[in-house]
Amino acid sequence: MSGPYARWWSLALLFAPLVLSLSAAQDKQAPARWEKAIAAFEKQDRESPPPKGAVLFVGSSSIRLWDLKKSFPDLPTINRGFGGSQIADSTHFAARLVNKHAPQVVVFYAGDNDIATKKTPERLLEDFRAFVKAVHAALPGTKILFIAVKPSPRRWEMFAQQQKANALIEAYCRRDERLHYLDVVTPMLGKDGMPRGELFAKDRLHLSAEGYQLWNGLLAPQLKKLYRPGSTKGTTPVLPRIVGHRGLIRHAPENTLAAFTACLELRIGFELDVRRTRDGHLVCLHDDGVKRTTDGKGKVAELTLAEVRRLDAGRWFGAAFAGQRVPTLDEVFDLLRQRGFDGLLVALDIKAEGIEEDVIRLAARHGVLNRVVCIGLAIGDPAVRRRLRAADPKAPVAILAQTAADLSAALADRDADWAYVRFVPTAAQVAEAHRAGKRVFLAGPTVAGREPANWGLAHAAGVDALLTDYPLDCRQRWRGPSTP
């Protein structure tokens, strides 16, 4: 190639990295333009705190301009719309706009501004998924209703892209009973297939009074189904969750049904270790051998289930526990199914490779997959994490962040939804994790022993779960008069 075209391509190649760099920087800094609006909401919250367990509306101008008190006079509503925003903006500020209010239902509208800035339908789906993760990381029981990206006369040329985005998001919502999709597109189109003019303001983009009246009629029946007056079940933050290391190791023999049952009675989560016997059964034992915690000898992987079950796993700890047996994972999951409680978290320390699929399928069969998180080999081995997710895409998996410097990389991992941190994070770092759709599991020497100061810092930072040898002491610290 020669002449002016060659020079043009040379210049294009020369400046392409700069253009991409500037674009990425602008995308990263975009949420900062809303800081003033978010600060104004926070001032309102301080002056007149909204109720917990309400119906919270969040998103762009269609939310901001909605007169919720007039439209839904019988419902406690919170309006957190900020005009011109895109889906990712609500995700960035989810902790400050949504999660702090612990809403029972979130009504979400955004997307047409995204498409107007040339984002693809696939990007809209990914951004909405990130919003859902950011909310459900802190409020796993909150219902989220997505209002379809609306057609408008002013942006009619974008209708095909809008509909593709709507189809992707609707299909995504169908896979989770906590997610709901509201079709406003069909009733907003006339017999000629074009947007009905009376539904729009003079700018031909925002809704008119008639437009909001239509939306009210479509949304009200859905809110009647989703909202339960006086109920906060599943929406009130249950964090931080305390997880007892191998049960209550200071009060009962580790990795036994006695220890796990005691934890459940005390409303405390627990951690357990999973290994496989020679004949393929999953059992709960920390060491690769049975000598330390039973009256037997040998490697777990070299013993059959029958041989392991004959061992006494309690007498070594105390005569009162004589006769305790090494439990199977099936027995533990059955216990969780029968006696689990809201907010329970059980950490599964994967001790052997090749058991990932069986562990996840067993949890799913008992209906307790949403109450566990996989640690152990999973936190450091990406292959283990991939196998866990291959067994079930909803499998909760953690990745290690040994230090604060490791956090960003951990949050970027697609096969984990928990960051397993071994340092006491700040509130800002926890918020960063939540924006990334991940929860924070604090473990390691800073909190494993009797560490009341660090427990207090963890509570103040808002970590999602904490693993310790002293779960009862930790809970008492958080309940005491000096709790942050």
- Show which residues are catalytic: 245, 286
CB distance 426 to 460 below 8 Å: no
User: Which long-range CB contacts under 8 A does 314-319 form with residues at least 24 apart?
Assistant: 314/253, 314/256, 314/258, 316/253, 316/292, 317/252, 317/253, 318/253
For residues 446-455, one letter each, b for 16 or more C-beta atoms within 10 angstroms of the residue's C-beta and e for the rest, the string is bbbeebbebb
The CA-atom distances, in angstroms, between 395 and each of 130, 180, 285, 305, 362 are: 17, 22, 22, 26, 11
Alpha-helix residue ranges (DSSP H) falling in 76-194: 87-92, 94-97, 112-116, 121-138, 159-174, 185-188
Question: Residue 477: which of 269, 442, 457 has the closest Cα?
Answer: 457
Type and span of the H or E element at 225? helix 209-226
Both tokens of 321, joined, read 């526990």
Alpha-helix residue ranges (DSSP H) falling in 30-103: 35-47, 61-64, 68-71, 87-92, 94-97
Class of residue 25 by CB neighbours under 10 A (exposed 0-12, middle 13-18, buried 19+): exposed
Class of residue 75 by CB neighbours under 10 A (exposed 0-12, middle 13-18, buried 19+): middle
Q: What angle do CA 214, 217, 222 make, to 5 degrees?
A: 130
List, edge to edge, every strand of the sheet that includes 55-59. Answer: 77-81, 55-59, 105-109, 143-147, 179-182
Backbone torsions φ then ψ of 108, nearest 5 degrees: -120, 130
106 DSSP β-pair partners: 56, 144
Residue 389 has a CB neighbour count (10 Å cut-off) of 21
Class of residue 475 by CB neighbours under 10 A (exposed 0-12, middle 13-18, buried 19+): middle
* Sign, Cα dihedral of 392, 247, 334, 264: negative
